[in-house]
Amino acid sequence: MLVGYEERPMIHRGPIRDRRFLLALILASACVGAFAQANSELIGIVTDQTGAVVAGARVVLTDPATELSKTTESGSTGLYDISGLNPANYNLKVTANGFGAFVQNGIAINVSSTARVNVKLTVGAESQTITVEAGALTVQADSNVISTVISSGQITEIATENRNFAALAALGLGVSSPSIPSDFLSMNGLNPSHNIWLIDGGESYDRGAGGGLAIMPSQDAIAEFTVLSSNYPPDYGISSGATMSLSLKSGKKSFRGELFEFNRNTAYDANSYFNKLSTPITPRATVNYNIFGGNIGGPLFIPHIYNTSRKKTFFFWNEEWRKILNSARTNIQNTIDPADIPKAGQNLTYVPPGFALGAFLVVPNIATSTSYYQTKLQPLGLSPGRCWNGPTIFDSQGNVSGCQDPQVIPASLFDKNGILYLNSPVFPRPNVAGQDKNITNPSTPLNVRDDVVRIDHKFSDKWAILGHFIHDSTTQDSAFPFLGFAGPSYNTITSVLTSPSYSAAIKLSGTISPTLLVEASFNYDGNIVHIANSPNSQRPEDWSVTPVSPAFAITRNSLPSMNVITGVRLKLLYRRTSVLASSGCA
């Protein structure tokens, strides 16, 4: 839209209106985004054969893939500076009155880097040309920044787990990759949350999650990126850690595209040696990855109407789908015998669970001065800390060590909400005979759609603008409530995370004079996280809880979180609390 709007002033309204629009855009961009630019530039000094500086030389830098050119002049000191460059291999041509033309081809410009080409002109006719081929890479002497460039070839050819390009940042200097998501990297011993990620000069950083990328663009949409680990210039000063600066691919003069698919499947893998030793044989863990998509890029033109030379506006569009299916870890959930689930109005005869056959119950050990004892337990002839019926057996330390069967719990002691909870679909039922265990192997599919669009437009040899839009649509299933954030161990409630994420940036670069350059960017990004539990987590219709204060009233229509505690602690809880009253269940 910006590109379309920009074309009308250039064609129909003349250069004066065009300059006014550019000035307004510069001021607006400077207010909101004149920081942390992906500032790739070429600098140098123009001299003659004696070493005297040459002022007013015309310097033209051209990307042969698009034929886009940027033009400037050497200043009074012979210096020239061309900024706002995309990563590419450029051709340089320098001309001046009384000197032969100077040409150097194949100048590599990397993202967020400063390259230098010093030009030495030879006296002669302007029609004469001296061509110099670009030599091997040299140490960058114009900046003391410590950085590592990850090229497009490395991004394409180096294998990464699940095609996560962020893992390649670990190739940088001073980088360590802890056992957490690969976009959380420690640079020079600093906390990963101190890093910053930039895409085409715009910030893409998930501050709400303590660092990392706010969006994960397709690996096939990235031209290259640079890891600035320390000593970077002040225009990257919005983080105390490293700056990872990415550049998306852009369209070229000719149309180019590709289709791709990355596939991993359980059928491709051999079973492990130890799995084969078990009887029956333990099957292979399910691992299914299907990541596929395609892209196309080229000139944006309308035959006989707009950009017929195919040198002004270019586009790049990439689509990727990620479908990942892994088996969740086996969930072994201790639960209780169905006979121990109380029913309204019925006494309950306690049955020890299959995983703790020696368990028994005792009356809650509460003070006799409490209202609960005087109104609930005493009328039934129950003594705190004693067996429910029959004699209580004590050990040498005075602890209860045994009770007489059967143990019957009166119906009047069961809390209404407790009965609803234990009879709801939330509470797991045993599916292993004789063990009172619930064992599940749920699948946790992850589906992502990634959209990337970038537009590059040239106003003139001195002014250019680019813009991109990235959108990720993520759906992730979990075998636990709230993705496990709340801590409950029930495997009866699952949850689904949906997270639309987006990133947009506009970057303007221009040359006002040999000593005055403009580069400003505006970006807008964010992500929304929505987690929904399965419908069986909703409160039953008869559920009623009186809050301590109206200010603490629970308005969400979901059951409270609860854990089943296993082992010795489970046995103690069965002894002391059982499933009585509002104290809940063990």
String of DSSP letters for 398-466: S-EEEEPSP-EE-GGGB-HHHHHHHTSTTSPPP-BTTTTEEEE--EEEEEEEEEEEEEEEESSSSEEEE
Instruction: Please indicate, yes or no, if residue 497 is contained in any of the structural domains.
Output: yes
Q: Which SS3 state, helix, strand or coil, does residue 208 take?
A: helix
Instruction: Please indicate, yes or no, if residue 514 is contained in any of the structural domains.
Output: yes
One domain, residues 472 and 514: yes
Q: Which SS3 state, helix, strand or coil, does residue 568 take?
A: helix
Contacts of 237 (CB under 8 A, 6+ apart): 35, 36
Each of the 586 residues of the chain gets a pLDDT tens digit; together they read: 223 322 222 333 333 334 443 444 444 444 344 344 456 889 999 999 999 999 999 999 999 988 888 999 999 999 999 988 888 899 999 999 989 999 999 898 888 888 899 999 998 876 677 777 665 455 555 666 777 788 877 887 777 777 778 778 777 777 776 555 555 677 777 777 778 888 888 888 777 666 677 788 998 999 988 888 777 777 776 777 788 888 899 999 899 999 999 888 888 888 888 888 887 788 887 788 899 999 999 999 999 899 888 889 999 999 999 998 876 667 777 788 888 999 999 999 998 888 788 888 888 888 999 998 999 999 999 999 888 888 888 888 888 888 888 889 999 999 898 899 889 888 888 888 788 888 887 778 899 999 999 999 999 888 999 999 999 999 988 887 776 555 566 778 888 989 899 999 998 888 888 778 888 888 888 888 888 888 888 888 888 888 888 888 877 788 877 665 544 333 333 333 333 333 333 3
Is residue 23 a contact partner of residue 32, using CB atoms and an 8 Å limit? Answer: no
Expressed in angstroms, the distance from the first to the final Cα of the chain is 61
Torsional sign, CA 381, 383, 388, 390: negative
One domain, residues 362 and 431: yes
Q: Which residues share a beta bridge with 181?
A: none
Instruction: Please indicate, yes or no, if residue 560 is contained in any of the structural domains.
Output: yes
- Identity at 568, one-letter amino acid code: V
One domain, residues 262 and 297: yes
Nearest CA-CA partner of 490 in 554, 559, 413, 551: 559
Residue with tokens 């009328």: 379
- Identity at 206, one-letter amino acid code: D
One domain, residues 238 and 225: yes
What does DSSP assign to residue 284?
P
Q: Which SS3 state, helix, strand or coil, does residue 155 take?
A: helix
One domain, residues 318 and 445: yes
Which CATH number goes with the domain that contains 224?
2.170.130.10
Q: Which of 111, 133, 155 is the last residue of a domain?
A: 133
Quote the pLDDT of residue 580.
35
Is residue 258 a contact partner of residue 285, using CB atoms and an 8 Å limit? Answer: no
Q: Which of 196, 230, 249 is the last residue of a domain?
A: 249
One domain, residues 267 and 404: no
The C-alpha angle with vertex 223 and arms to 219 and 227, in degrees rounded to 5, equals 90
Nearest CA-CA partner of 83 in 142, 154, 25: 142
Instruction: Please indicate, yes or no, if residue 13 is contained in any of the structural domains.
Output: no
Quote the pLDDT of residue 84.
83
- Identity at 191, one-letter amino acid code: N
One domain, residues 447 and 433: no
Instruction: Please indicate, yes or no, if residue 19 is contained in any of the structural domains.
Output: no
**Model confidence, pTM:** 0.73
Quote the pLDDT of residue 361.
86
One domain, residues 445 and 322: yes
One domain, residues 316 and 406: no
Instruction: Please indicate, yes or no, if residue 124 is contained in any of the structural domains.
Output: yes
Contacts of 122 (CB under 8 A, 6+ apart): 48, 49, 99, 100, 102, 128, 130
Q: Which of 195, 226, 249 is the last residue of a domain?
A: 249
Structure tokens at 174: 């001073």
Instruction: Please indicate, yes or no, if residue 493 is contained in any of the structural domains.
Output: yes
One domain, residues 213 and 261: no
Is residue 346 a contact partner of residue 440, using CB atoms and an 8 Å limit? Answer: no
One domain, residues 566 and 515: no
Q: Which SS3 state, helix, strand or coil, does residue 518 take?
A: strand
Instruction: Please indicate, yes or no, if residue 27 is contained in any of the structural domains.
Output: no
CA distances to 105, 333, 476, 485, 548 from 480, in Å: 58, 12, 12, 9, 29
One domain, residues 221 and 258: no
CA distances to 34, 196, 264, 324, 361 from 31, in Å: 7, 20, 47, 42, 70
Bond preceding residue 500 cis, omega within 30 of 0: no
* Domain span holding position 223: 146-249
Quote the pLDDT of residue 13.
31
Q: Which SS3 state, helix, strand or coil, does residue 369 take?
A: coil
CA atoms of 79 and 505, how far apart (whole Å): 31
How many domains would you assign to the chain? 4
Residue with tokens 């993202």: 111
